[in-house]
Amino acid sequence: MTETLETQSVRNYDIEELKRLDMAHHWHPFTDTKALHKEGGARVITRAEGCYLYDGDGHKLLDGMAGLWCVNVGYGRQELAETAYRQMLELPYYNTFFKTATPPAIELSAKVASLLGDNFHHIFYSNSGSEANDTVLRMVRHYWNLKGQPNKKTIISRWNAYHGSTVAGASLGGMKPMHKQADLPIPGITHVMQPHWFQEAEQGETPEDFGKRAAHAIEQRILELGPENVAAFIGEPVQGAGGVVIPPSTYWPEVQKICQKYDLLLIADEVICGFGRTGSWFGHQTLGIKPDLIPMAKGMSSGYLPISAVAVSDKVSETLFEKGGEFYHGYTYSGHPAACAVALRNIEIMEREHLVEKVHNETGPYLAEALATLRDHPLVGETRTLGLLGAVEICKNKETRERFADLGKVGTMCRDHIMERNAISRACGDTMVVSPPLIIEKGQIDDLVAALRGALDDTMADVEKLGL
């Protein structure tokens, strides 16, 4: 059975023709198209099962990234496909604009609210993390206008944060190459240092001291701008695409105090951290943060269908509902019935299989130990994890944490080498990151870490050969 399935895609697709068509007609996101074509084009993924991907060239790959940080329940879940199928037959689409709703949108809202605790009762839907963050920006501005403080406009974010690819999302994010290509950020968004001890701390500065310093950079910016002009602070509980940046324990408590002191809304971008990734349902629960607005996406449906949302605290929704009138915002597919039905069933699977507890008690601690075994490698300066988010820092000098020149070059080599070993880990600069499906077993974590060690060895050989 497995053999038939494994070879099926090779028989059914003309992979060379697909690769040719891909180069001829498909423009890939975040890709240097010229370089891709020079290298012979894309790898075509044809199917997936559990934690494994299969490509058209006959490789079976261990997916250490759960797609793009999203396939939390793993691939090949028949019941999610059946749920979508049944919902599409019964009601494939209806909108939620004009005093209408659909059963899946209603049920999912109640379910998500129940996972968030006492302060959150309202869920606003969109289709991607970027759209959720656009929604957040609209809500924040509307909120302060309604509160009679229209000058409270600026949102503070961090350099190297990722909040999406739309104009608002990319502006909220702190990725300089993204800003540069589109003349961003838009006005009213400002960035401060990230709480990335390995990369940013002074020699001899403890993580605890550094965490406080990074938090105080927010306070400094508030004072520069005047608190009466600052609307909100946005942060991923753990920065994902920035390189799994897990802040020192002193950071978030301090940020929380600062937001309270200067009356800022606190936005926890849970697009990656939400739905079990850190060992709680949400990252803010793991880290003890009390946000006012929570954008979420990815793990919400495990990527089976596109869906995202903003959970709105009672503090914010009371003002918006009482004084706001009609909120002139929404998307054709806000609360799409098939996406909501799949998300609901995805959450049911996570509950039934105790996946959040499994990450917290079993696989999270196991990943921490397994990655820590790489610390003896000459290229590895640090390993860190939270739940099933992990990072391995590659550096030139372990003692001083000095990076290689041309940040990202050595990381990319390592990423290519791990792929040659039939496993996937992403390089964020020179930080190798992992974010596997939450169903991953300990033996598969061992395989992933063994592939990482092999890739690090191959990278070391390159570094020596090139004299880097």
Question: Where along the sequence are the contacts to ligand PXG (CB under 6 A)?
Answer: 68, 128-130, 133, 162-165, 169, 236, 240-241, 269, 271-272, 297, 426
Is 43 or 216 the residue whose CB approaches ligand PXG more closely? Answer: 43
Distance CA 118, CA 33 (A): 48
Is 392 or 460 the residue whose CB approaches ligand PXG more closely? Answer: 392
Q: Cβ 30 to ligand PXG, closest distance in Å?
A: 7
Q: Cβ 363 to ligand PXG, closest distance in Å?
A: 21
Is 164 or 247 the residue whose CB approaches ligand PXG more closely? Answer: 164
Contact between 195 and 247 under an 8 Å Cβ cutoff? The reply is yes
Q: Cβ 336 to ligand PXG, closest distance in Å?
A: 14
Nearest to 291 by CA among 242, 232, 347: 232
Q: Are strands 265-268 and 52-55 parallel, antiparallel or unpaired?
A: unpaired
Distance CA 304, CA 309 (A): 15
Is 109 or 127 the residue whose CB approaches ligand PXG more closely? Answer: 127
Distance CA 32, CA 39 (A): 11
Under 8 Å CB-to-CB from 269, ≥6 apart: which residues? 129, 133, 161, 163, 234, 235, 236, 237, 294, 295
Reading phi first (left if > 0) and then psi (alpha if -120 to 50, else beta), residue 298 is in: left
Query: Tell me, what amino acid is at 32?
Result: D
Is 259 or 300 the residue whose CB approaches ligand PXG more closely? Answer: 300
For tokens 């229209």, the residue is: 150
Is 130 or 377 the residue whose CB approaches ligand PXG more closely? Answer: 130
Is 271 or 367 the residue whose CB approaches ligand PXG more closely? Answer: 271
Name the residue with the smallest CB distance to ligand PXG: 129
Q: Cβ 352 to ligand PXG, closest distance in Å?
A: 26
Q: Cβ 306 to ligand PXG, closest distance in Å?
A: 7
Q: Cβ 67 to ligand PXG, closest distance in Å?
A: 10
Q: Cβ 136 to ligand PXG, closest distance in Å?
A: 10
Under 8 Å CB-to-CB from 222, ≥6 apart: which residues? 156, 230, 258, 262, 264
- Alpha-carbon distances of 312 from 8, 121, 268, 295, rounded to whole Å: 46, 7, 11, 9
